[in-house]
Structure 1
């Protein structure tokens, strides 16, 4: 009985210590943009929502696993709308931006999702 308990405890400890490789849910807001991943319960998707009625489009910039250049998901549809990326490799980093005419874009910092 004692040996069974030790083996069960050891196996439970190993299961908790080994990372699963799943993405961490990240939601970021900057100015009128809110971006998140995983989107639609898919670690290979990003979403970006326009949260301000100011006429400025919003975007999510992100890196996929294996990419050396970031990608951009635009949302030009206006306040209250959400745009979703296509499915692909796991999202590794993400940031939210509001695109501003005649001024630099307002962007959050980069956040790791895995």
Structure 2
């Protein structure tokens, strides 16, 4: 069962695509024209924050490539010139 994070109009979840623990997805649920992103960490590079962007617009989803297990993530709605609307960190 995937874990979910919501920040502004962003919805991120992991595991994604059939329960693969090395994949994360982010969907844009807003119509504000701003992109959404998922920030996440993998077990193989635990000090490296990675970002999965979705610039495709409302109702679209972006999915990461597969890799080592994702151990924490958050969802963010980009706000240019203002702080992003982000969830707290989620542990899948």
* TM norm. shorter chain > 0.5: yes
Point out 4+ residue stretches in structure 1 off by more than 2 angstroms: none
**Structure with max Cα Rg:** 1
Normalising by the residue count of structure 2, what TM-score does the alignment of the two structures yield? 0.93
Partner of 1:66: helix, strand, or coil? helix
Q: Does 1:36 align with 2:42?
A: no
Compute the displacement of 1:25 (Å). 2.2
Two-structure CA RMSD over aligned residues (Å): 1.0
Compute the displacement of 1:74 (Å). 0.1
- Alpha-carbon displacement from aligned partner over 1:47-103 (angstroms, at most 9, x marks no partner): 000000010100000000132111000000000000000000001001000111110
Normalising by the residue count of structure 1, what TM-score does the alignment of the two structures yield? 0.76
Q: Residue in 1 aligned with 2:26?
A: 48
Between structures 1 and 2, the one with greater helix share: 1
> Does 1 or 2 have the higher relative contact order (CA < 8 Å, sep 6+)?
2
* Unmatched segments (≥5 aa) in structure 2: none
* Unmatched segments (≥5 aa) in structure 1: 1-23
Q: Residue in 2 aligned with 1:107?
A: 86
Between structures 1 and 2, the one with greater strand share: 2
Distance 1:89 1:59 in 2: 19
